[in-house]
Amino acid sequence: MSRLILPNRAGDLECYTLGEPLNFTAARAHTPTRIAYAAAHVVADPLATSDPWLDVSLDWERTLDYRRYLWGLGFGVAEAMDTAQRGMGLDWPTSLELIRRSLDASRDVPGAVIACGCGTDHVAPEACRNLDDVIRAYEEQMAAIEGLGGRLILMASRALAALAASPDDYIKVYGRILSQAREPVILHWLGEMFDPALAGYWGHRDPDAAMQVCLGVIGEHADKVDGIKISLLDADKETAMRQQLPAGVKMYSGDDFNYPSLIAGDAQGHSHALLGIFDAIAPAAAAALAALDDGDMEAYERIFAPTVPLSRHIFASPTRFYKTGVVFMAYLNGHQDHFTMVGGQESTRSTLHLAELFRLADRAGLLRDPALAASRMAGVMATRGVAQ
């Protein structure tokens, strides 16, 4: 058995013994009952000469290998989203190159599904003087992604949130962009817990009022909307919105707190998935969804249950720092050889947070090589003053 010294929640050091990993081998059905995208992280190049706070350097081979891994488990890849540190270190030129390379890689994987984040983040919010500037910014990214053959995930815009004076401004911008889309897009409503700059999106601080504005936009352009991902971490609001969507428009759950029940659904319907946590718990999520495809709800709930405390910890407030936990899981499981992130974001979580993440991942059976995970965790702890 593997053991190491970890701090507990009180900050006291104690010996921790790892359990055995679970063997997640189930593959998803060819005709799955739920569409499931994993929002994928990026792997930084730890040996680049660039300064991480100022420049972006990616390890392209490892970054693309992780996407192949997700496709192999039956997931679609949601590319260049907030999980990839979009808006927190990953700039637009690198995002577009990431999209280009991922689209190229997807063409070599039979059945691979990919959708790509389209926003306005190449223009500073303060540089947008009016709504037409926001529209042009969206159009520039839309043209670039569609020119590569990519499908769009229309991301929320910090520039629009800063400039909009009323719900009508959102209606105008989204109406213009959706009317031009070549094929139906996925909308992304990202809550302020993920990005404080998006507070009051859709023109209302009250999320129920904001929801009605968003539903109005979807209803007006339903033929151009495949679905919407909402990331509000509120199961009741997601369910309420899901029940009001026009026929044929999907709800993609972005609720990293309540995903098992939302995906399972109820008599009135269910959510599909577009989740950052599926990057970190990919083997378990694939096995649980395969069980759901087979109608085995007992196995579905049993597999997902221990992943929820892990996910709630990774996405704990400040929620925008969840990317650190996602990358840390990839490092512990050997998908990359370092715990270095774009923008130096490996520093956003405390030593106690990482120690609890490690314990929760172990209890969920998600550390696939306990000896490797323990060795890597010990190294990280050593850099933070926890000697073994």
Judged against a pLDDT cut of 90, whether residue 31 lies above it is answered with no
What's the rounded Cα separation, in Å, for the pair 206 and 209?
A: 5
C-alpha radius of gyration, the chain, whole number: 20
Superfamily of domain 35-305: Aldolase class I (3.20.20.70)
Burial of residue 356 (CB within 10 Å: 0-12, 13-18, 19+) is buried
**pTM score over 0.85:** yes
What's the rounded Cα separation, in Å, for the pair 98 and 348?
A: 24
The alpha carbon dihedral of 74, 75, 76, 79 has a sign of negative
Residue with tokens 């670039």: 144
Judged against a pLDDT cut of 90, whether residue 83 lies above it is answered with yes
Task: Find, among 279, 280, 304, the residue nearest to 292 by Cα.
Answer: 304
pLDDT band at 48 (very low <50, low <70, confident <90, very high): very high
What's the rounded Cα separation, in Å, for the pair 180 and 174?
A: 10
Tokens, residue 209:
């009022």
Q: Residue 25: what pLDDT? A: 79
What's the rounded Cα separation, in Å, for the pair 39 and 52?
A: 22
Task: Find, among 275, 98, 313, 269, the residue nearest to 190 by Cα.
Answer: 275
Q: Residue 108: what pLDDT? A: 96
**304-314 pLDDT, tens digit each:** 999 999 999 99
Q: Residue 177: what pLDDT? A: 98
Pairing outcome for strands 3-7 and 13-17 = antiparallel
Pairing outcome for strands 272-275 and 250-253 = parallel
Judged against a pLDDT cut of 80, whether residue 30 lies above it is answered with no
List CB contacts of 27: < 8 A, sequence separation 6 or more: 73, 74, 286, 290
> DSSP of 251-304, one letter per residue?
EEE--TTTHHHHHH-BTTB--EEEESHHHHTHHHHHHHHHHHHTT-HHHHHHHH
Range name among 20-29, 47-56, 309-318 with the lowest pLDDT average: 20-29
Range name among 27-36, 172-181, 190-199, 355-364 with the lowest pLDDT average: 27-36
**337-350 pLDDT, tens digit each:** 999 999 999 999 99
Tokens, residue 148:
């590569």
Q: Residue 7: what pLDDT? A: 97
**Which of the 8 DSSP states describes residue 330?**
H
Please say whether the beta carbons of 44 and 59 come within 8 A. yes
**90-113 pLDDT, tens digit each:** 999 999 999 999 999 999 999 999
Q: Residue 28: what pLDDT? A: 72
List CB contacts of 148: < 8 A, sequence separation 6 or more: 99, 100, 103
**59-76 pLDDT, tens digit each:** 999 999 999 999 999 999
> DSSP of 70-96, one letter per residue?
HHHTT-EEEESSGGGTBTTTB-HHHHH
Judged against a pLDDT cut of 80, whether residue 1 lies above it is answered with no
**328-337 pLDDT, tens digit each:** 999 999 999 9
For residue 342, which amino acid is it?
A: V
